[in-house]
Structure 1
Amino acid sequence: MLIVVSLCLLQVSYAQSSWEPSDAKLAVRIEGIEGQLLQNARAYIGIKALEGQTVPSIFRVRYLARKGEQELLTAIEPYGFYNAQVKSEVIEGDDTWTVLYTVEVGPVTTYGDVNIELTGSAQYDAAFQKLLEERLPYRGQPFNHQDYESLKSGLRNLAAERGYYDAQFSTHSIKVERDKQIANMTLVFESGERYLFGETSFCCSFLNESLLERFIHHQRGEPFNTRALLDLQVDLAGSEYFSTVEVSPRWDQATTNQVPIDVTLSPNKRDRYQVGLGYGTDTGARITMGFDRRWVNDRGHRLSSVIRLSEVQNTGYVSYIIPGNDPARDSYSFNGEITDRSFEAQRSKLYRASFKDIRHYDRWHRTYQLAYQREDFSFGDEPTTSSNFLIPSVEWSLIESSSLPANRNIIDDGYRISIMLQGAHENVLADTNFASVKLSAKWVHRLSDEWRVLMRSEVGALQTDDFDALGSTLRFFAGGDHSVRGYAYQQLGPTNDEGVVVGGRFMTANSIEVDYAFKSNWRVALFTDIGNSMMDWNDRLKQSVGFGIRWVSPIGPVRLDLAMAMDEPSNPWRLHLTLGPDL
């Protein structure tokens, strides 16, 4: 008897040593499917959690492998494969044990009968008809459970967005006939009546009620739409009057099919102080100090002031801002500015007072301005000249863009087009007659996930009776970070007898650039710029070439460029550092 027991113990010990290897690792391989189907299957099977670990007992591996067969069948059914077959095999190796699944998906299940019924007001709503045209499956289309659930979610979300508060599915079913490989769908969506906007009330505001009501773009009695409430919240938050904004429809207080809207506001800090340090190759080292009073009175008037000091230019600016009819987008402002600039023998001291009327129309922006300015300027050793002008001007801009989903600071596709007209007449507080026009355009286009092309162009023209009477701020210059790289700031243009650039009557600056994303927030770029400032359109243009690196920071792209002036090969490469959006 003792011999028999000993032999049994030796057999068990041998079996354990062969079934429980101490060094082999477990691997899982699935053949017969790929893409999204494979990705979902690998995430669904339980044995996948042991991959890369030391193999447990052979009993455990075989149990999990057999269990994985059913898990794989369940994982691929939502994609329409209800007649699949799965076989598993455990392949034992010295270093690796592999659980191999072989999947035969079989024929895909397609839609058979597709029945959907809308009841209530939604059946007459064009938004629901559009949704069904885009998403409703047709007979013979491969059945996908995710698409079916997406259709149901789309109907629910659209109902919530458009005020069908009582909407619900009275019937929603998918019946799969495995032998026929068809899925019959039945949906009955009872929307009920669409709710209307009720009264909008504001709580805890320190501002005049009439100002707050101008933020509202919906009217009492109009059909409910959450987009209008979202726009209201964004506009109020963007006004900087408030630290928190909460816009809530009160469904529990709805009467006669109207839902009241409550807006709860918390005041922001009234005063804001700012101090910033920076550097730009056009301006050199700089410091910015600002003070804003977010509201001066209960009508929402604001005061904004800033002082910018740099190696090239010092500026003091103050603005008194009055909200317009649409206070989130329109405004009037009274502005004062003093700027003292000295760079490369160009000297200018500007005093300007102006009034602006700013309007936004969807993608269009319009600015009217009336400014009176005095400028004391000189070039080189020339004596200082003073000029005085009352200048009306108008600027229109059209902007449209989309950002990369993964990073809102990178423009995916978009453009910006602007035109500015200004002038003066000697009979109305001006030293001479002049008129000028400036056109500018930028375009960004994504070629692929990594490549983009960026183009910009700027053209200006000036007509005047006495060019010498115009201060430097009214003339055209070229060169610098945002103009023609490879040349110094405002150092392209006609010169006087001393060789000092004095500006021109015409200007153009153009660029084409290609950049490549080698990491999520890093890009490299190649570019060429061409342009000049001229007294005559026939003057020669200057060109540069260069390369750069881009860091997409949380506050926008930071660009570091090296550019060489092709027309001045003896000059070294010039460094350009800029910060700001692509458009």
Structure 2
Amino acid sequence: MLRVVRLHAPAWWPAFLFAAALLLSGCSLLPQKDAAESDATPGAVASAGGTAGTAFTVDVQAEPATVREFLERHLEIQRFRELDDLGAVEISRLMVAAEANARELLNTLGYFTPTLTLELRETPGGKAPREVRITVEPGPLTRVSSVQIDFSGPIAENPAAEAQRDAIRTGWALRAGQPFNQQAWDAAKTGALRTLTARRYPTGSILASKAEIDADRSEARLGATYESGPAYRFGPLVVNGSQRYPVDSVRRLARVPTGAEYDQQLLLDAQQRLASSGYFNSVFLTLDTTTDPHAAPVVAQLTEAPLQRVVLGVGFTTDSGARLSIDHSHNDMPLLGWRAVSKLTIDRDLQSLGTEWTAIPDDSGWRSFASGQLKSEVSGSFTVDSGRLRGGRSQGGDHIDRSIFLQYDYAVNRGFNPPPSASALSLNWGWTGRYFDNAAAPTRGQGVALELAGGYTLSGEQLPFTRTYVRWIGFVPAGTVSNDDDTQRRNARIQLRAEAGVVSAADRAQIPSTLNFLTGGDTTVRGYGYRSIGAVKPDGQVIAGRYLGVASIEWQRPFVYQGQLTAWDSTVFIDVGAVADRPADMSAKVGVGVGARWASPIGPVQMDLAYGIAVHAFRFHLRLGFTF
């Protein structure tokens, strides 16, 4: 509800009387010529110099530009321009309605005391025989003076919901001191309702709302009352559309927390687990709010994916050029009943063929898996032909992934005076935690991954070794950037990255090069080629090394164009990385540069121009998407 309160004589009353007098007279806005003559021959005026088929043009004079553009788009008088049989009297009457329409439009922008002047001009040499000029002085912009948010229903009395009530109040988008307009008012109400219905109370609603406008003080007093409805808990999963897979398998894939308080994010997470499992083409999960709130069924509407699928893909990376890939998936392998995904990839520096088999997870989310891969890639100064077999258990969670597996590796190095070929068997443990505000395009939060392995070399002398690898990324807010009218804001941020790796073994141990480390490229040290930074042999050739260190700092700032926030960010960065066979031989390679980030409809696009100080060369890096 929008209510305008005026504490003094209403400014629009004299204007209304004046407009009414103009309407009754029907001629006060006519140009200074014979009205009867102009009305009798509308076609003659058009043919004398205007464009046939256009009765008049509309020229809006207003500042700021956002007001002018808004009026030009939404004024109803624009709809009548193409009626070429309109005379001056009819246009004058349309102008009276246009004044009221313009005031209504300005009210939605937060301008409640505008001054408008409407003129009808003869323009025989213009685009049309007449021009309607609307001059607008919008007056002071109304700002919010106070906000009152109240609650009704169970949420008002539930002590456990105090944090939710506080979140709604603190998250209210249209705060005291900010400019008032209808769009921001509607968005604030809707945003608070989303916060209410996102947890415990999915049937919540707006019970009442009001915006009291003091036009003379240019102030708005806002109030809203929210009705929560009953609190809901997740009940059993009801599956519709699954024919090939048992309901229990769908339940274990979704992992809906039956018995827990309703949380929209938990429902979306379960939906995402089903959608990303590969078993279904479409997934839609809803809470049935027509039944018992203490055990509301979760309804899964599914469309199964084909039993087998082949996908051809082409792509391009600045690291390795054009890429061709072929993927084959089988969702129900004979005998095992596992899912198999096989992939062939070919690009300039890498050719690989691999397959991974995974079982349906158990009730705890753990699943068995097996995988194999053959690969040939350029690593440092050599080409490495390698193979890898894995088998073990993994668990994928909303924020944490875990795995434990047995792994066999072999690597054959090709080139001038290559390192010896090697093979090894190891037991591996992996843990990854992701704590981002947005998994696809994070702006705050952090992620950390840890890999530990221990095993024996199988080539030459059989010797023990251990391998440790850790990587981390963090996003730290660094101020807020807003548009000119302060209605949109986005955080600038500092992105920090770090990697470290160590392979501990006797010097004579023959470690497969695929277990050692190389760095450089789009996601590590920019300004250098992909996996071009490694340990340096006495003859100058680069090989994979036993020690790795990488660090990066990047400042990302939203880009403002013509006073408006855009979907782009500008960046500056410094990357440092080093690889060696001994810690004393670590020599840092530094890359510096600038770049841009674009929040595209299909994911974040990262573009960087980096200068590798050690190689004295610029390098362009392009990457689509964010993964950790």
RMSD (Å), alpha carbons? 5.2
Q: Which moved further from structure 2: 331-340 or 295-304?
A: 295-304
What secondary structure, in the 3-state scheme, does the structure 2 residue paired with 1:323 have?
coil
Superposed counterparts of 1:171-190, under 5 Å: none
**Cross-structure match for 2:87:** 57
What secondary structure, in the 3-state scheme, does the structure 1 residue paired with 2:309 have?
strand
Which of 359, 372, 379 aligns to 2:395? It is: 359
Shift in Å, 1:143: 7.3
**Cross-structure match for 2:579:** 533
Check 1:265–1:393 CA distance in 2 against 1; reply closer, same or farther (3 A cut). Answer: closer
Q: Does the 8 Å contact 1:81/1:106 carry over to 2?
A: yes
Shift in Å, 1:60: 3.1
Which of 260, 274, 278 aligns to 1:240? It is: 278
Superposed counterparts of 1:136-155, under 5 Å: 149=186, 153=190
Matches of 2:71 and 2:504, distance apart in 1:
72
Matches of 2:373 and 2:572, distance apart in 1:
38
Superposed counterparts of 1:223-302, under 5 Å: 223-252=261-290, 254=291, 259-277=296-314, 283=320, 287-296=324-333, 301-302=338-339
Q: Does the 8 Å contact 1:168/1:190 carry over to 2?
A: yes
Check 1:69–1:330 CA distance in 2 against 1; reply closer, same or farther (3 A cut). Answer: farther
Shift in Å, 1:71: 1.8
Which of 114, 117, 131 aligns to 1:97? It is: 131
Q: Does the 8 Å contact 2:230/2:293 carry over to 1?
A: no
Shift in Å, 1:239: 1.5
Shift in Å, 1:306: 2.4
Check 1:189–1:477 CA distance in 2 against 1; reply closer, same or farther (3 A cut). Answer: closer
Shift in Å, 1:202: 1.7
Q: Which moved further from structure 2: 446-455 or 235-244?
A: 446-455
Shift in Å, 1:269: 0.5
Check 1:265–1:11 CA distance in 2 against 1; reply closer, same or farther (3 A cut). Answer: closer
Q: Which moved further from structure 2: 464-473 or 544-553?
A: 544-553
**Cross-structure match for 2:75:** 45
Matches of 2:361 and 2:351, distance apart in 1:
31
Q: Deviations over 1:115-160 (max 9, x none)?
A: 9562455553433454256549999999765566556545765665
Q: Does the 8 Å contact 1:558/1:578 carry over to 2?
A: yes
TM-score by length of 1: 0.73
Superposed counterparts of 1:503-522, under 5 Å: 503-510=544-551
AA matched with 2:258:
Q
What secondary structure, in the 3-state scheme, does the structure 1 residue paired with 2:543 have?
coil
Which of 366, 369, 373 aligns to 1:333? It is: 369
Identity across the alignment (%) = 19
Check 1:185–1:196 CA distance in 2 against 1; reply closer, same or farther (3 A cut). Answer: same
What secondary structure, in the 3-state scheme, does the structure 1 residue paired with 2:310 have?
strand
Check 1:89–1:224 CA distance in 2 against 1; reply closer, same or farther (3 A cut). Answer: same
Shift in Å, 1:338: 3.1
Matches of 2:118 and 2:75, distance apart in 1:
12
Q: Which moved further from structure 2: 331-340 or 55-64?
A: 55-64
**Cross-structure match for 1:5:** none
TM-score by length of 2: 0.69
Superposed counterparts of 1:171-570, under 5 Å: 191-205=228-242, 206-214=244-252, 215-220=254-259, 222-252=260-290, 254=291, 259-277=296-314, 283=320, 287-296=324-333, 301-310=338-347, 312-325=349-362, 331-341=367-377, 346-377=382-413, 380-381=416-417, 384-398=420-434, 400=436, 402=438, 416-424=447-455, 431-442=462-473, 456-480=497-521, 482-484=523-525, 487-496=528-537, 498-510=539-551, 529-539=575-585, 540-543=587-590, 566-568=613-615
Matches of 1:159 and 1:42, distance apart in 2:
37
AA matched with 2:256:
H
Shift in Å, 1:466: 2.4
Check 1:576–1:233 CA distance in 2 against 1; reply closer, same or farther (3 A cut). Answer: same
Identify unmatched segments of 5+ residues in structure 1. Answer: 1-9
AA matched with 2:104:
T
Shift in Å, 1:422: 2.8
Check 1:280–1:82 CA distance in 2 against 1; reply closer, same or farther (3 A cut). Answer: closer
What secondary structure, in the 3-state scheme, does the structure 1 residue paired with 2:270 have?
helix
Identify unmatched segments of 5+ residues in structure 2. Answer: 1-33, 51-55, 482-489
What secondary structure, in the 3-state scheme, does the structure 1 residue paired with 2:332 have?
coil
Q: Does the 8 Å contact 1:479/1:532 carry over to 2?
A: no
Q: Does the 8 Å contact 2:141/2:179 carry over to 1?
A: no
Q: Which moved further from structure 2: 429-438 or 58-67?
A: 429-438
Check 1:324–1:287 CA distance in 2 against 1; reply closer, same or farther (3 A cut). Answer: same
Shift in Å, 1:300: 6.5
Q: How many residues align?
A: 561
Matches of 1:281 and 1:105, distance apart in 2:
53
Matches of 1:482 and 1:396, distance apart in 2:
18
What secondary structure, in the 3-state scheme, does the structure 1 residue paired with 2:542 have?
coil
**Cross-structure match for 1:73:** 103
Superposed counterparts of 1:96-175, under 5 Å: 97-103=131-137, 105=139, 118-120=152-154, 122-124=156-158, 125-126=161-162, 127-128=164-165, 130-132=167-169, 134-135=171-172, 149=186, 153=190, 161=198
Q: Which moved further from structure 2: 273-282 or 209-218?
A: 273-282
AA matched with 2:275:
A
